[in-house]
Amino acid sequence: MKFVDQAKIYISSGHGGAGCVSFRREKYIPKGGPDGGDGGRGGDVVIEAVSQKETLLRFHLNQHFQAGNGRPGQGRRRSGEAGPEVRLAVPPGTVVFDADTDELLADLAEPGAAYLAAKGGRGGLGNCNFASGGHRTPRYAQPGEDGFKRRLRLELRLLADAGLVGYPNVGKSTLISKVSAAKPKIADYPFTTLTPNLGVVAVDGERDYDGPTFVMADLPGLIDGAAKGAGLGHQFLKHLSRCAVLVHVLDPLRLNLEQPERDLEKIKKELRAFDHELSKKPRLIAVSKMDLAEGLAAVQALRKAKPRTKIFPFSSATGEGLLELKRAIWQDIAKFRAKEAAAAAQEKKHEED
């Protein structure tokens, strides 16, 4: 399935049905009076997060959605039928923006979360609602209200706890394939990863999912100028916004031992240029390919240049350092989750008070 993480759609809610002008006429009832029913309400347009959905591809194939109109009222006080609503199923993590004002409208982070994107027009009142002692034969009714039209931009932001960042071919895809069941494309040429890959990582064992687990995202490699549109990685940097921690993977083969921190600063600069909040996230430094001779020299140079920063060397080929790296990632995720839970509890307490 093609991975599509952004789409623009046009939606219209249904018009309300018109109220009815009618009078009761039955044998032996000379003064039946008005009995026109109300028009039906127009259908709503609702956007709902559904766990079975993984991409916004559907909205590239079909961009226009319109709910049904309400039926007009009828005599004998019969109300018109409401127009059918339209429910648009999107992947969890979808963010809804107004395409004209760029205003954030909804963040559908959890499965089952829904947003009323366009409310249907109200149905008009029939003439039976306007009868009074001074006016017993009203010959008018209300028209139905018009529906609501708007343009929306849907943006998918993956629900990942940890994100792998770095230059192309530093070992990110191999890493996620070793610590999870994800099967990304792996090759010895740049940009083999063209779309993000997600994997569920068991912290204490390769397949021990009874213990703590987290979701890891492998993003396409970044290059200099990514925040301004260079390369592929800039298209997917938004998926890092939900991550609790970023794992910066370094390749010892391309590291400059005289200035080992240069790659770290370059990637951090790209993250800051794209979204300043990304540069504030906790970041772990991991050096891959420790089965190679250059690995030890690279780690020593980094530790000398950044003595206060903990470096996590690992080898996806031999498994060296993978457990320590997973546990370090989990520690930052656990802190983030505890902080989020405390904030949610505080907000709930405030609402109850």
Domains of the chain, each with CATH number or no CATH: 1-156 (2.70.210.12), 162-352 (3.40.50.300)
Indicate the pTM of the whole model: 0.78
Burial of 94 (0-12, 13-18, 19+ CB in 10 A): buried
pLDDT at site 32: 83
> Which segments in the chain show pLDDT lower than 70?
1-2, 185-194, 206-210, 223-235, 353
- Asked if 175 and 155 touch (Cβ cutoff 8 Å), the reply is no
- Asked if 45 and 117 touch (Cβ cutoff 8 Å), the reply is yes
- Token reading at 61: 């194939």
pLDDT at site 274: 81
- Asked if 280 and 244 touch (Cβ cutoff 8 Å), the reply is no
- Asked if 218 and 164 touch (Cβ cutoff 8 Å), the reply is yes
What are the DSSP E strand ranges found in the chain?
A: 6-12, 45-49, 64-66, 86-90, 94-98, 104-108, 114-118, 149-156, 162-165, 197-202, 213-218, 245-250, 283-287, 311-313
pLDDT at site 1: 47
Question: For residue range 177-208, what is the model confidence (pLDDT) as tens digits?
Answer: 998 887 776 655 455 556 788 888 988 876 55
pLDDT at site 198: 86
